[in-house]
Structure 1
Amino acid sequence: MAALGPGIWSAVIALGVSWFPGTARIMRGAVLRVREELYIGAARTIGLGHPGILVRHVLPNSLTPVIVAASADFGYAILAGASLSFIGLGARAPAVEWGLMAADSRVDFLDHWWTALFPGLSIFVTVLALNLVGDGLRDILDPKQGRRE
């Protein structure tokens, strides 16, 4: 943020750059795990080329951990974006952003406490909902979890 300056797009770029290595590491680990599976060896044996193996087998079976991690990271990104706006490095005054609303309500907090409560509750509910969606996605997409029907 110091190099890019304050602003919403600077915050988006800074958060994207800072979270990319973790997501890339998760994807790499998933691909390395999948490429050692027996069905990849069977696909090679029947003559399927590298692009076919990648598209048909490796990518679909590697995306699950990335999708689950991305849903959790999306909640953290909302918190980080709101925090940056709260301290003045994110969105600017004409924009409508929860962190900016909470920062603007500091002046009248003792007289109008609800002006800080509702942006905070909105952030809380949104991040909680995204974490629950991520947990549900993990339960649905995890192939190793035993399903009882």
Structure 2
Amino acid sequence: MVDRRPVDIMPNILAPVIVYASLLIPVVIVVVATLSYLGLGLAPPTADWGGMISDAQNYYTTAWWFMFFLGVALLLTTLAFNLFGDGVRDAFDPRSDRLFE
């Protein structure tokens, strides 16, 4: 019987766990924003992107930039975390031949 201690397994599992966690952050941000936009998220005194975008709909005809810049901030944040996660994956696996993936 092979003795597999956590000390032997952790170095091999650490990189995929870090990559998976960094790629899940934007998913969680978008899910929380979506739930808040629908009114199922955080309580109203707490500021979050979904609630702010939902409130900005009331002013869309007079102040379109409220909704626009909130949406752009949400998009750029999720894009930044996705690119960070992809960079971390490339850093932990430099031998992969992922040229256009």
TM over 0.5, yes or no?
Answer: yes
Q: Which runs of 5+ in 1 are unaligned?
A: 1-43
- Contact kept in structure 2, 1:85 and 1:100, CA below 8 Å: yes
Aligned residue for 2:57, secondary structure, equals: coil
Number of the residue aligned with 2:86:
135
Deviation of the 1:50 alpha carbon: 3.6
Q: Which runs of 5+ in 2 are unaligned?
A: none
Deviation of the 1:143 alpha carbon: 5.7
Output the aligned Cα RMSD.
Answer: 1.6
Candidates 98, 101, 105, aligned match of 2:56? 105
Once residues 17 and 95 of structure 2 are traced to their aligned partners in structure 1, the CA distance between those partners, rounded to angstroms, is 16
Once residues 65 and 55 of structure 2 are traced to their aligned partners in structure 1, the CA distance between those partners, rounded to angstroms, is 12
Runs of 4+ in 1 over 6 A off after TM superposition: none
Deviation of the 1:138 alpha carbon: 0.4
Amino acid at match of 1:73: L
The alignment status of 1:70 with 2:26, answered yes or no, reads no
Aligned residue for 1:94, secondary structure, equals: coil
- Contact kept in structure 2, 1:92 and 1:100, CA below 8 Å: no
TM-score, length basis structure 1 = 0.59
TM-score, length basis structure 2 = 0.85
Number of residues paired by the alignment?
A: 96
